[in-house]
Chain A
Amino acid sequence: MSAFAADELVAETVDRLLLDLCSPDVVEHAEAEGWVPDLWHAFSESGFPWVSLPDTAGGSGGTLGDAAAILHAIGRYAAPVPVAETGMLAGWLLAGAGLAIPGGPATVAVGLSLEGARLVGDATVAWAARSERIVALVQDGATWKVASVPASAVSITRGANLAGEPRDLVRFEVASGAFDLAAAADGVDADALLQRGALSRVVMSAGALRAMTQITVDYTNERKQFGKTIAGFQAVQQFLVNTAQCSVRVNMAAERATRALAAGEPGITIAAAKVLTDAAVAEGTRAAHQAHGAMGVTREYPLHQLSRRLWAWRHEYGTASMWRRRLGTAAHRAGAEGLFQLVTG
């Protein structure tokens, strides 16, 4: 079985697409321009952004595992496309609420509220200016509702995360009638969205950590000092092993959490994966950068495309300290005798 229990063909196709269309130069260019039309077009043509959403709702079908395999590839290639937002997050909310899935990019906003029939609030929204629709999950009395807002109905100030990916500041003052509103699917609440968002960041980070390990191994096997490749030095091997360990932990965590969510029983898995990702990002980027010397800190070499994303994504969908405390609380609830059941699942 392939990683994430994904369809082999999906995994291979997305990998080939990114190898062709998403070179480090393209990623660099996207940061300056904010968008790579060709890349989004290719994704859109293949239906990748809507994988895991049912055909009947306007999605591309496929499983959450397939969607994770796509996000993993996006992490590996540092691809500047809002696929997690369009499908796994906004698309999931829309499909669950029976609202239309737009043909272009969509994204999600959290922390908004309904005032009467108006949608109001301020939010930092990934790729807002590039999206057709901004989708919010809002509380209406005791129920959760999904609001689908045309991006043209809000005021957007451009912003970016540490990796130069659009994280726009959006002010919502949207009158009723200017957006669609429908009840969220059963079980969809702010926490469910938070968990999915966190999982998307874990999976992309797993991809980025894997690629970071590989380019660090490649670089240290080419770079020579003292008459030999630096990968031959024990001290440098230590960095390689360290980076690999970080990658391996997060990849295993990403896969276990994806499968748990797909089975409808996320339990502690996403919290654990997010905590592990935070530590691995700190340890892994430190080791990979150290192994690269000065080359790692120039914009002319692609390590930064991965490390800056890793540093940016760890802030999204809950801090490690929030998730860690949740895990601690889960351990407390389980008690000393029940703790190991959480480990083995």
Chain B
Amino acid sequence: MIEFEYSELTPSERALQAEVREFLDRVLPPGSYHPALGFQAEKDPEFSRKLGAQGYLGMSLPKQYGGHERSAVDRFVVTEELLRRGAPVGHHWVADRQSGPVIAKFGTEAQKQRFIPGIAAGELSFCIGMSEPDSGSDLASVATKATRDGDGWVLEGRKIWTTFAHLNDWAIVLCRSTPVAELTDKRQGMSQFIVDLTSPGLTATPIPFIDGTSDFCEVELDHVFVPDELVLGSIGQGWAQNTSELAYERGGPDRWLSSYTLLAELLRLHEQQPLPDRIADVLGEALANYWVLHSLSLSVARSIDSGGAPAVESSLVKEMGTRFEQDVVTAVNAVVDEAPNMADTSTFSRLLISATLTNPSFTIRGGTNEVLRSVAAKGLQPSGGKR
């Protein structure tokens, strides 16, 4: 049965939380930036560098490479604070959340020395190179081909929805290195490569997003050479490595805080006046859900720290957390008297418009809810009559 062990922040984790709050109040006072919707946030390399200097990035990574060897719960505390403020985390987000940890786990000594310091400093930015035009949920069907060539590999194919590929430094790209025809299981014969986004033959073209922004890209890999020293982990082990990378993507506060800033702004609009019942109801319902999702997400982080592999639990949280994020957008829209107008640039209006237009993506990015339910269902097994 699925178990979420109850957990609370320890005094030292509370102290970290207070420290992060104090730091962010100082470097990111309300009014000094445009709050984002969770991790769908602007790139602000300068802000990322400040976080890095403060020790808030690469928190779980080894100290010898510039990381901090802190716990998953410490990282949880920091990301919660960043996301609830809608901080501009876009530049370092993927590198800090997943690329750094997978390089620390599977990378060579040289790769760790080369990449981890920059990730922990908030300087290097990474992309996720998984999805392809014909491979979305069925990732094992990726067709981007890696072919042996001298002291390296040549990549040929097309990636899509690659967030910030036109601006970032690196991407971890999942490829097919042995043709499916030679295998018994298509999950074999896959490999991951660390690809320089300025490589000759690589073209990243932004794709317009539903709200008119353009952060995700189509990436064409036309005979892109990757030297052996940039193979991540083992050739042929790409599927297992990629699955472990996905685990970092799920279950965290980024999967339930995406519309928090919208709700907080709704509250701000009513701060100096009596609270209408219908607004109280929206705030109350949302508060109850944030309150419990915080505890569930904390429980997942604690389980990681004690050596668990809470893949099922993470999927369960992400699946309901993202639905809740959408419910908040629906609920706020239901109590707004004036139709959103694109000319209104107030923070609330900007967030409402963006959240309304982009919230369908909450339950798609990082694995669709349907796929997550299949993963979670594996954790629900018969009990033999025990209650």
Contacts and interface: CB of A to CB of B under 8 A. Distances in A.
B230 interface: no
A214 interface: yes
A245 B319 contact: yes
Q: Name the residue in A271, A272, A331 with the highest tally of chain B Cβ atoms < 10 Å from its Cβ.
A: A331
B383 A218 contact: yes
Interface in A291-345: 321, 323-332, 335-337, 339-340, 342-345
Contact of A328 (B9, B260, B287, B291): B287
B84 interface: yes
Interface string B352-375: 000000000000000000100110
A248 B316 contact: yes
A335 B283 CA distance: 11
Could you say which interface size class chain B belongs to? Answer: 35 or more
Interface string A243-261: 0110011011101100100
Contacts of B1: 213-214
B2 A248 contact: yes
Interface stretch (A51-59, A97-105, A173-181, A234-242): A234-242
Given A218-B385, A244-B2, A325-B277, A249 B377 contact: no
A339 B275 CA distance: 15
Contacts of A259: 6, 8
B316 A328 contact: no
B294 A249 contact: no
A336 B373 contact: no
A76 B383 CA distance: 14
Contacts of A324: 280-281, 284-285, 288
Contacts of A276: 288-289, 292
B6 A255 contact: yes
Given A325-B281, A335-B267, A339-B267, A217 B288 contact: no
Interface string A127-170: 00000000000000000000000000000000000000000000
B288 A272 contact: yes
Q: Name the residue in B2, B284, B285, B384 with the highest tally of chain A Cβ atoms < 10 Å from its Cβ.
A: B284
A255 to B, nearest CB: 5
Contact of B268 (A249, A328, A336): A336
Contacts of B265: 336
Could you say which interface size class chain A belongs to? Answer: 35 or more
Contact of A256 (B268, B295, B319): B295
A272 B282 CA distance: 13
Contact of A340 (B84, B277, B295, B319): B84
A241 B383 contact: no
A237 B377 CA distance: 6
A23 B376 CA distance: 30
A339 B85 CA distance: 11
A275 interface: yes
A97 to B, nearest CB: 32
Contacts of A231: 377
Given A249-B296, A326-B284, A268 B267 contact: no
Nearest to B6: A255
5 contacts: A218-B385, A222-B382, A253-B292, A328-B281, A336-B265
Closest 5 CB pairs of A and B: A328-B280, A327-B284, A328-B284, A324-B284, A237-B377
